[in-house]
Amino acid sequence: MKFLLIDDSSFDLFTQEKLLLKSGLTTEVITFNSAQLALDFLETQSAEMPETVILLDIQMPGINGFQFIGKYAHLPDGLRERIKVFMISSTVDVTDMEKATANPYIIQLLSKPLEIPVLKSLLNM
């Protein structure tokens, strides 16, 4: 399973990547410091891509997490079927939490810092 981390914080990208690699969940983590770069990458992928988990920050300059999901919804079904999207944020904004919960493409909103046991249980690993 491959992981894509999308976050404008280089510190969060670094720490989450190290946590994921040490956890044994994956041997491949690709990081993006902008949602647009991640979308550009996904648009080059096919339905044969390995199963992928996206950890998506909400608050980012340019395209934020919710805008990313709006564009993600237009990717081919075969590609989206291979991807699980989790939002990850330190937000305490109830509106953000409700928006994430209501979105059919977001499995769950996880809080920062990332808790590997919670992620493992959500991925049934």
Q: What's the token pair of residue 99?
A: 């928006």
pTM equals: 0.95
The one-letter amino acid code at 89 reads: S
Chain segment 43-102, per-residue pLDDT in tens: 999 989 999 999 999 999 999 999 999 999 999 999 999 999 999 998 878 999 999 999
Averaged pLDDT for residues 108-122:
92
pLDDT value of position 38: 98
90 and 112 Cβ atoms separated by less than 8 Å: yes
Q: What is the mean pLDDT of the chain?
A: 95
Domain residue ranges of the chain, discontinuous segments joined by + = 2-112
Each residue of 65-93: b (16+ CB within 10 Å) or e?
bbebbeebeeeeeebbebbbbbbbbebee
pLDDT value of position 92: 79
> What share of the chain has pLDDT > 90, as a percent?
91
The residues that bridge with 110 in the sheet, in sequence order, are 88
Does CATH place domain 2-112 in 3.40.50.2300?
yes
36 and 71 Cβ atoms separated by less than 8 Å: no
The residues that bridge with 29 in the sheet, in sequence order, are 3
